[in-house]
């Protein structure tokens, strides 16, 4: 059974199909921007908690776990890091060094990895924030897969010869000249 015999239309709907695939890609980009804003709102919750709870603590009791949200090249990165202060010899001010924590499976960080870098008083809050961010990462991953599939379909469509039905029952192939 050929493409046209299966009930699908041939070459006349190709621009519409390509427009649909391009629409899927554009919708994906818009949704990624929305997810980035949602992730920033969740990260802001963590930062507000971090500042509020650390304000009156002694330096050794302060929490050092932070979350970063970064949009880059159409992508979205959500990562956890812990920081420390390093003062070099002769320096007036200390430098802040971030050490990123390795992410686990299923778009989540392992609770043990996060808890190891948390203070006891912030573990529950950090795990709750991470569960919310994991949902954003999961949706982002599915959207990226959808966009990649649409791009691959466009490439495959561009390489394939077009089929047109000129007379009933006769199929003719055309080569696209780009």
Residue with token string 């980009």: 29
| CB burial string 17-35: b at 16+ within 10 A, e below | eeeebeebbeebeebbeeb
Separation between Cα atoms, residue 1 and residue 6, nearest integer Å: 6
pLDDT band with cut points at 50, 70 and 90 for residue 173:
low
> What is the per-residue pLDDT for 90?
85
Q: pLDDT (tens digit, 9 = 90+) per residue, 146-157? A: 999 999 988 888
Separation between Cα atoms, residue 63 and residue 81, nearest integer Å: 11
Q: pLDDT (tens digit, 9 = 90+) per residue, 88-144? A: 888 888 887 888 888 888 888 999 999 998 888 899 999 999 999 999 999 999 999
Domain residue ranges in the chain: 12-158
């Amino acid at each position: 059974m050929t493409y046209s015999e299966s009930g699908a239309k041939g070459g006349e709907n190709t621009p519409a199909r390509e427009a649909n695939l391009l629409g899927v890609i554009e919708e994906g980009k818009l949704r990624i921007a929305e997810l980035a804003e949602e992730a920033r709102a969740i990260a802001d919750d963590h930062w507000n908690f971090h500042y509020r709870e650390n304000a009156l603590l002694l330096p050794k009791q302060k929490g050092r776990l932070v979350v970063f949200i970064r949009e880059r090249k159409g992508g979205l990165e959500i990562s956890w890091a812990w920081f420390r202060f390093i003062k070099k010899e002769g320096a007036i001010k200390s430098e802040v060094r971030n050490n990123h924590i390795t992410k686990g499976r299923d778009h989540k960080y392992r609770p043990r990895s996060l808890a190891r870098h948390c203070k006891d008083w912030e573990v529950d809050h950090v795990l709750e924030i991470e569960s919310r961010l994991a949902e954003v990462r999961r949706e982002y991953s599915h959207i990226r897969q959808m966009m990649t599939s649409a791009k691959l379909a466009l490439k495959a469509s561009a390489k394939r010869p077009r089929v047109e039905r000129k007379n009933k029952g006769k199929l003719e192939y055309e080569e696209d000249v780009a």
